[in-house]
Amino acid sequence: MECWGGRKKISSLSSLGRKRIVLVLAFSCVGFVMWGLDRSGTFEAKSIFDFLYDKPVSGVLVFIALYSASVVVMLPTLPLNLLAGYVWGVWAGGIYVAIAVTLGSLVSFWLARSIFGKLLARQFKSQSFSKFEKSLGKHGWKYIAFVRLNPIFPTGPVNYLFGFTAIRSHVFLISTFVFLMPTSTLIAYLGETFETFVRGDVDVAVWLHRLMFISFLITLLAVVVLGSKIFLQGRHHR
């Protein structure tokens, strides 16, 4: 029995190793393709605008695919969000961005859960972590809402972190889309109003800094409230 258990463990580890190799190769392929497109001038402003205006349907699909891939490989996506607002306007641009980020987030979530989830589950078996896991499983949408409505949290890494938790896939999917809409629409509004890619308005940077500052204050307030709650609970149990 002990020998069989050892073989089973080795088999699962080797399977995990193969999955990691596939993941690294996939990331490398995406990076290589995007590098090649950049070298060929595909990402030049004129080329992008010409393609999006000449082929509206294909343009939307390609935009969503590129945006989703950028989310998965954790590349900066703010310029794409601004671009969506400039090209398609506030509402259409915001919706396209929310769809793209949701798809990319779901892929990241699935990768984290299927490749690294079991390994990390063995590492975190403490009672406190189990309680936190139960809270995430029960109130997962609240955690997702807080993170998605707060631009101070980087989307890429957060997606993978959520994949390590007990949050259900459908809760993650729906909550991500719903609570990404306000932020995506706001940034699309900045892209449309200030015509960022044409005039390079300084006001965009000012508004983004204000948005980040407000997000920081909200995060700080939430940390203080949560910390106080934990502290009071600790004193109560004593």
Burial class (CB in 10 A: 0-12, 13-18, 19+), 152: middle
The whole-number pLDDT of residue 173 equals 95
* Residue pair 182/119 in contact by the 8 Å Cβ criterion: no
Residue-level pLDDT at 139? 76
Question: What percent of the chain lies above the pLDDT cut of 90?
Answer: 19
Q: How confident is the model at residue 212 (pLDDT cuts 50, 70, 90)?
A: low
Torsion of the alpha carbons at 96, 100, 106 and 109, rounded to the nearest 10? -130
Q: Is the pTM of this model over 0.85?
A: no
| Contact yes or no for 214/228 (Cβ under 8 A) | no
Q: Domain ranges in the chain?
A: 44-200
Write down the mean pLDDT value for the chain.
73
pLDDT at 177: 96
